[in-house]
Amino acid sequence: MNSTSLPVASPRDERDARQDRLFRWILVATVAFVLLALASAALSMLWGGRHALLHQGISFFYSAEWNPVENKYGALAPIYGTLVTALIAMIIGVPVSFGIAFFLTEVAPRWLRTPISTAIELLAGIPSIIYGMWGLFVLVPVMSDHVTPWINDHLGKLPLIGKVFQGPPLGIGLLTAGFVLAIMVVPFISSVMREVFQTVPQRLKESAYALGSTKWEVVWDIVLPYTRSAVIGGIFLGLGRALGETMAVAFVIGNSVSLSVSLLDPGTTIAALIANDFCEAADTYRSALLLLGFLLFIVTFVVLAAARYMLLQLARKEGN
């Protein structure tokens, strides 16, 4: 009978197998540590806010009354301010970021691309408190003297949406905070867009140019469809930054815990309210602020989860 002998593993193979298993367990431990840290942070804020939740009940999430003197807390005003300022930042920041990426990849000469892209990326390293001080001392006077009166005179008289653009010419408010956030998120979104635009194969663009396409048509019909998923990911990265920004917003938003539909009225966000009041808060008030922190965590998580779901849907459609 012919017998075949199984190959015997060498000491090197056994050592490599042990190292692979060790490396795999290290990676699993790293992922588990990150998930545990996130869950611990969320649960600790929820546990710290249990007194406010028991005292206020479910009305904490939809009530607009915030009165620490009477021990009444409602999160609707800071939730509204957080979402509105982030939305304004995206409406302004996304087109500007797209224009910057378009210019740097298709229009600007090569010798100019590196200095401009470096300067824009350096904006991401400026501390947020510097943006807040600039907004307070430079942007707020401009808004008060020029922008707000013009908005009141021209947009405040529009039917249906006129109330959104009516307000006192204070210069501080939701609109100003949205402008500051837009400036802060532009470096993040434009950098992602520029990098992914450069990954488009040159042959695709040259073929489109050969057929007579303009630069705009090449970017809109070739570059954007090719990089759609990455562009959306960069936009949601900037949105996550806008939702959680604290000090820059606290300088220019007015810090008024009141609900108003006007973008020109002072307001507040979840992060700004926590930063302004946490040191002086005690008992139920501090519990309410911790519950707000948990709510901000949930809002950010939902936004990023929605971005991930959208990217998966796009990937499936592109696969089909």
What is the structure's pLDDT at 252?
A: 92
pTM score of the predicted model: 0.86
pLDDT tier for residue 301 given thresholds of 50, 70 and 90: confident
In terms of Cβ atoms closer than 10 Å to its own Cβ (0-12, 13-18, 19+), residue 192 is buried
What is the structure's pLDDT at 26?
A: 93
What is the structure's pLDDT at 227?
A: 85
Tens-digit pLDDT profile for residues 99-129: 999 898 888 888 888 888 888 888 888 888 9
Tens-digit pLDDT profile for residues 267-285: 899 999 998 888 887 788 8
Q: What is the arithmetic mean of pLDDT over 59-82?
A: 87
Residue 4 has pLDDT above 70, yes or no: no
Identify which has the larger pLDDT, 311 or 36.
36
Tens-digit pLDDT profile for residues 182-227: 999 999 999 889 888 888 888 888 888 888 888 888 888 888 888 8
